[in-house]
C-alpha cells in the first residue's frame, strides 16, 4: 500500500527527539483538545489548543494509522498561532479518503507526541453520504449520545447551536475560550469531535446568553459581541465566513455531494420584532440560494431556530418574525425551490418532522418545505412551534440522521429521528426525492 504522510510546522524551531509514549484514554498529553472542520473533498481545517502557550507544533496527517514511513513527508499546511490555539489549513488531500492525524508538540526542548484522531474527506459529485445533526447540550455533557452519533459513522456532524450553556454576556475572552475547553473535556464529546468533521454555528446560550439578539447599544455590549465573534474564529474549525474575519455575522456555506448546505447566524443580527437575519445577511442568504440552485439539486438550510408556528410577536423563533418568514417563503417560491429546499433546526429540545404540510408560508401557498427539528443532545425537554405532520417528541439524548442516496439523476433523502440507544424514535422517519 502506498503510504502518504503530511507534516506541517506551526512555528520555527529545532525539534528534539519525539517522545511517543501512550497516554491514558481521553488524555492527549500536551494537547488539550483538537477538532477538524471546513471539510471539502481536498482540504480541511484543524484547530488545536495546547496545554501551554507558544509551543512549536507539527500537525502530522497520514493514511496509515501507525504513522509510519514519514520519510515521504511533504509540507501541506500552515498554522496561525493565537495563544495556545493553532489553526492548520490542510490542502492537497484526496476525495473520500480516511486520514489519521496527530501532533508533535515541542516545549522546553522536549517533543511529545499526541495521537489525536481521524477524519474522512468528502466525496465529489453525485455520491451517497450521511449527516448527523443536533443541538443543545449541557456544558461538558458526558452523555453517551455522542458515542451513539459516532457509531453511525457520519460524513459530517452539524452542531446547530448551544454548544455550551455558559451564557457569557460580557467581554471575557478567557471565559469564552474556557467554555469551549469545558466541552472538549468531556470524553464522549472529545472523541466525536476528534474523529468526525464538524460544521457548527452558534445559537443563543453559546453566543451571549438566553434569547440574546444582535442589538448592541453600549460600548460594553459592542465589545461583548466582538469578543464572541473573535473567540469563535479562534477556537472553531469553521468554514469560510461570509463576511470575512472580524466582522458579523458568522453565516457560512459548503457543498457535500450535490447538496449545498447554508448555515445562517440567527442571533448576532437579530432585531426583535423586525428581522431575524439582518439586512446584510439576508442578502447574502438570498444570493447563496440563487447561486446554489443552478448547481445543486438539493439545498439544505441549517436554520438554528424553529420555522413553524402560529404568528406571535412575543416568541424567540420564526413565529415571532412572521413578515420576514413570509418574505423568505415568497422568495423561495419565486426561485422555484419547491421540492428542492429542506430545513434543519434545533433550539427546541425535541424531535419533530414536518413533511411540508404545515411549513408553507408563501403568499397563496406553493412552497411546502420539509422541516426536521433535532434536539436535545443533553438538556431538559421542551417544545416550540408546530403543528408538525410527524410526532413532536420532547427529550434528551436525541439527534437527527440525514441519509442521502444520489444516483446522478435523483437524490433520495431519508430522515431519522434517533434516540440514545441508537434506535429511530417512533414515527420519526420521513423520505423525499429531489429530481435532477
Q: 142 has which bridge partners?
A: none
pLDDT in tens, the chain (436 residues): 333 444 454 333 333 334 444 445 568 989 999 999 999 999 999 999 998 776 788 899 999 888 875 433 333 344 555 557 889 999 999 999 999 999 988 878 888 999 999 999 999 999 999 999 999 999 999 999 999 999 999 999 999 999 999 999 999 999 999 999 999 999 999 999 999 999 999 999 999 999 999 999 899 999 999 999 999 999 999 999 999 988 789 999 999 999 999 999 999 999 999 999 999 999 999 999 999 999 999 999 999 999 999 999 999 999 999 999 999 999 999 999 999 999 999 999 999 999 999 999 999 999 999 999 999 999 999 999 999 999 999 999 999 999 999 999 999 999 999 999 999 999 999 999 999 8
The two most distant CA atoms of the chain are separated, in Å, by 71
**What is the grid cell recorded at 388?**
408538525
What is the per-residue pLDDT for 296? 98
**What is the grid cell recorded at 141?**
455533557
CA distance 255 to 260: 5
- Quote the Cα angle for 248-254-255, to 5°: 165
What is the per-residue pLDDT for 81? 53
For residues 204 and 211, the answer to whether their CB atoms sit within 8 Å is yes
Question: 50 to each of 22, 95, 181, 185, 233, how far by Cα in Å?
Answer: 17, 29, 11, 13, 17
What is the per-residue pLDDT for 68? 78
CA distance 354 to 430: 9
Q: 48 has which bridge partners?
A: 34, 86
For residues 372 and 134, the answer to whether their CB atoms sit within 8 Å is no
Q: Decide: residue 148, CB within 10 A, 0-12 exposed, 13-18 middle, 19+ buried.
A: buried
Q: CB-based contacts of 219: which residues, under 8 Å, 6+ apart?
A: none
What is the per-residue pLDDT for 256? 98
On whether the pTM is more than 0.85, the answer is yes
What is the per-residue pLDDT for 13? 31
CA-based nearest residue to 112, from 162, 57, 37, 176: 57
What is the per-residue pLDDT for 26? 65
Domains annotated for the chain, with CATH where assigned, are 5-120 (2.60.40.380), 129-435 (3.60.21.70)
CA distance 382 to 399: 15
Q: Decide: residue 309, CB within 10 A, 0-12 exposed, 13-18 middle, 19+ buried.
A: buried
CA distance 271 to 275: 5
Q: Please give the distance of CA 41 from its chain centroid, rounded to a whole number.
A: 17
In what order do the strands lie in the sheet containing 110-120?
18-19, 110-120, 98-107, 56-62, 5-9, 74-75
CA distance 82 to 49: 9
Amino acid at each position: 500500500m502506498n503510504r502518504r504522510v503530511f507534516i506541517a510546522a506551526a512555528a520555527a524551531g529545532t525539534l528534539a527527539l519525539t517522545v511517543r509514549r501512550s497516554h491514558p484514554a481521553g488524555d492527549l498529553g500536551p494537547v488539550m483538545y483538537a477538532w477538524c472542520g471546513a471539510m471539502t473533498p481536498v482540504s480541511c481545517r484543524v484547530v488545536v489548543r495546547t496545554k501551554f502557550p507558544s509551543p512549536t507544533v507539527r500537525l502530522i496527517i497520514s493514511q496509515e494509522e501507525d504513522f509510519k514511513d514519514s520519510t515521504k513527508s511533504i509540507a501541506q499546511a500552515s498554522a496561525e498561532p493565537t495563544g495556545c490555539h493553532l489553526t492548520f489549513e490542510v490542502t492537497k488531500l484526496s476525495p473520500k479518503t480516511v486520514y489519521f492525524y496527530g501532533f508533535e508538540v515541542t516545549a522546553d526542548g522536549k517533543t511529545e507526541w499526541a495521537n489525536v484522531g481521524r477524519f474522512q474527506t468528502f466525496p465529489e459529485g453525485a455520491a451517497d453520504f450521511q449527516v448527523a445533526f443536533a443541538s443543545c447540550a449541557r456544558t461538558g455533557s458526558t452523555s453517551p449520545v455522542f458515542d451513539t452519533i459516532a457509531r453511525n459513522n457520519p460524513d459530517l456532524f452539524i452542531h446547530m447551536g448551544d454548544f455550551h450553556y455558559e451564557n457569557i454576556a460580557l467581554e471575557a475572552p478567557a471565559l469564552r475560550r474556557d467554555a469551549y475547553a469545558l466541552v472538549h473535556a468531556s470524553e464522549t464529546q472529545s472523541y466525536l469531535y476528534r474523529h468526525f468533521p464538524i460544521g457548527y454555528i452558534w445559537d443563543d446560550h453559546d453566543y451571549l446568553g438566553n434569547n440574546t439578539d444582535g442589538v448592541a447599544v453600549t460600548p460594553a455590549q459592542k465589545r461583548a459581541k466582538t469578543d464572541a465573534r473573535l473567540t469563535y474564529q479562534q477556537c472553531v474549525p469553521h468554514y469560510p465566513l461570509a463576511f470575512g474575519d472580524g466582522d458579523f455575522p458568522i453565516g457560512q456555506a459548503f457543498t457535500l455531494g450535490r447538496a449545498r448546505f447554508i448555515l445562517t447566524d440567527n442571533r448576532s443580527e437579530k432585531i426583535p420584532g423586525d428581522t431575524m437575519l439582518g439586512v446584510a445577511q439576508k442578502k447574502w442568504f438570498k444570493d447563496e440560494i440563487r447561486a446554489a440552485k443552478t448547481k445543486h439539486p438539493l439545498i439544505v438550510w441549517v436554520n438554528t431556530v424553529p420555522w413553524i408556528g402560529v404568528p406571535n410577536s412575543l416568541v424567540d423563533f420564526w413565529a415571532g418574525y412572521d413578515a420576514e418568514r413570509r418574505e423568505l417563503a415568497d422568495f423561495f417560491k419565486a426561485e422555484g425551490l419547491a421540492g428542492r429546499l429542506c430545513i434543519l433546526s434545533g433550539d427546541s429540545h425535541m424531535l419533530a418532522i414536518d413533511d411540508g404540510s404545515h411549513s408553507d408560508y408563501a403568499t397563496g401557498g406553493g412552497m411546502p418545505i420539509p422541516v426536521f427539528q433535532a434536539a436535545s443532545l443533553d438538556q431538559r425537554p421542551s417544545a416550540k412551534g408546530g403543528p408538525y405532520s410527524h410526532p413532536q417528541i420532547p427529550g434528551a439524548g436525541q439527534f437527527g440522521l440525514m441519509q442521502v442516496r444520489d444516483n446522478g439523476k435523483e437524490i433520495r433523502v431519508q430522515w431519522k429521528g434517533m434516540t440514545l440507544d441508537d434506535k429511530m424514535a417512533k414515527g420519526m422517519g420521513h423520505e423525499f426525492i429531489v429530481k435532477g
